[in-house]
A = this chain, B = another copy of it.
Amino acid sequence: MPVLDNIRIVLVSPLYGGNVGAVCRAMANMGFGELAIAAPRPLDQGEGRMMACHAAPLFANRREFPDVRAAVADCIAVIGTSARGGLYRQHARTLRDWAPETLALAGRGRVALVFGPEDNGLSNEDLALCTQLIQIPTTPEYTSLNLAQAVMVCCYELFTACDCFEGREEKSPEATSELRERMFEIWRRTLLTIGFMEEEKADHMMLGLRRALSRGPLSVDDVKILMGIARQSEWAARHAGGD
């Protein structure tokens, strides 16, 4: 997504290389490509590469800046994340609320999404640089997310808000009523042949089978499998009896 290319993930003084690697993997899963580290501390590079997995190039290409101010200098919007409350954090909103506006901003200029260190989150000084503040929904009992998990939730929200994900599509179309009725006719014949029901109870029994097979949509392939079973069952019953 070209619009996601305009969103920079900024990690402030992360402590653990493994977390930074996991951030890279989450970013790559969700189509983000630009990682900045502000006020870097020494990181375990091996852990970072390992947790980045196939996103190791993203880990290798991370850019380092002396502080948050420098890391976001060219951004038209600076979105901070905060699990803590407090007087100047009350206006935080969720990213699901903010996602459409964030994508619109990213269409006009570069946008930074800023995450504080694992131990303390964003300082008030870094917060002051933020034009927007977001909070990730959690239970009140445990509001502090793992850094990479927090990045994942944010990237996931923005990626899904792009509406660019194409889910799997079943190649087999949904069965029409005509095809389903053909299947039920075959089953009716089979159930009579194998002695599961008698003619006078057939309509009633078939309602039960119809209900069981109509709990969800059936594809043409589903119906073909169910028809095949009925046919084979009838065939086997006739032949077992020395038909």
Taking CB atoms, residues of chain B closer than 8 Å to A171 are 90
Majority SS at the chain A contact face: loop
Collect the chain B residues with CB atoms within 8 Å of residue A26's CB.
145-146, 149
Evaluate contact between B167 and A92: CB separation under 8 angstroms.
yes
Q: Is A78 an interface residue (CB 8 A)?
A: no
What copy number does this chain have within its complex?
Answer: 2
- Say yes or no: is A141 at the interface (Cβ < 8 Å to chain B): yes
Q: Is there a chain B Cβ closer than 8 Å to A214's Cβ?
A: no
By a CB distance below 8 angstroms, the chain B residues around A137 are 156, 159-160, 165, 167
Picked from B25, B96, B144, B165, the residue with its CB within 8 Å of the CB of A146 is B25
* Interface residues of A, count at CB 8 A: 46
Cβ distance A143 to chain B, nearest Cβ, rounded Å:
7
Q: A153: shortest Cβ distance to chain B, in Å?
A: 6
Residue in chain B with minimal CB distance to A54:
B142
User: Does A120 lie at the interface of the complex (its beta carbon under 8 Å from any beta carbon of B)?
Assistant: no
Given contacts A25-B142, A29-B144, A135-B168, 15 further A-B contacts (CB under 8 A): A18-B18, A22-B149, A25-B146, A28-B141, A54-B144, A55-B142, A91-B170, A92-B168, A94-B165, A94-B167, A137-B165, A138-B159, A139-B159, A152-B153, A153-B153
